[in-house]
Amino acid sequence: MLINDKFQLKKFSGKGGWTYIDLPSLSVKSVLPFGWILVNGQIDDCAIRNQKLMPRGNGSYFFSVNSKIRKAIKKEQGDSVSLVLSIAELLNQITEELLACFNNEPKHFYTTFQSLSFEKQQEFLGQIYASKTEDEKATKIIKMFQQLDILNSSH
């Protein structure tokens, strides 16, 4: 469990400002780009899956509460919410697409991947899943295979 507490919804000033929850400093190492932390949990009675905590640059984080969530919990800026979060493990999210990529390569790629530390596996997957386009995702998968090949050759 990463967080289990009550928080007040806040809003960044200005037109289009995000509604968010300020979170304390967390002793978690991010494996995603930009220092994001991927979480699951719930806000009040609304389930949260694969949402990102965003760093503020001072060790603390904030959690964006989009309109879909606000409508589901019927709350806005100034309201108090119950927030329960745990870190989402990217390893539970290896897609059929990525498994197909592993199946199209020599077996040692997957074996080498499995031999990596949990943190290194999460780092690879975080980079792949943070891709904004299919081309970027493909490029990152190819780069991962190249690095896995180098690691395999060094053993």
Considering only CA atoms, which of 150, 7, 3, 9 is closest in space to residue 77? Answer: 9
The 10s digit of each residue's pLDDT in 26-54 is: 877 776 777 888 888 999 999 998 888 99
Please name every residue paired with 80 in a beta bridge, in sequence order, or none if there are none: 8
State the Cα–Cα distance between residues 61 and 111, nearest whole angstrom.
Answer: 36
State the Cα–Cα distance between residues 56 and 71, nearest whole angstrom.
Answer: 26
The 10s digit of each residue's pLDDT in 1-13 is: 889 999 999 999 8
What pLDDT is stored for residue 7 in this prediction? 97
Whether pLDDT at 94 is above 70: no
Q: pTM for the full model? A: 0.62
Cα 42 versus chain centre, distance: 15
What pLDDT is stored for residue 62 in this prediction? 94
Residue in this structure with the two tokens 């609304």, named with its chain if needed = 46
What pLDDT is stored for residue 47 in this prediction? 93
CA angle 7, 8, 14 (to 5 degrees): 135
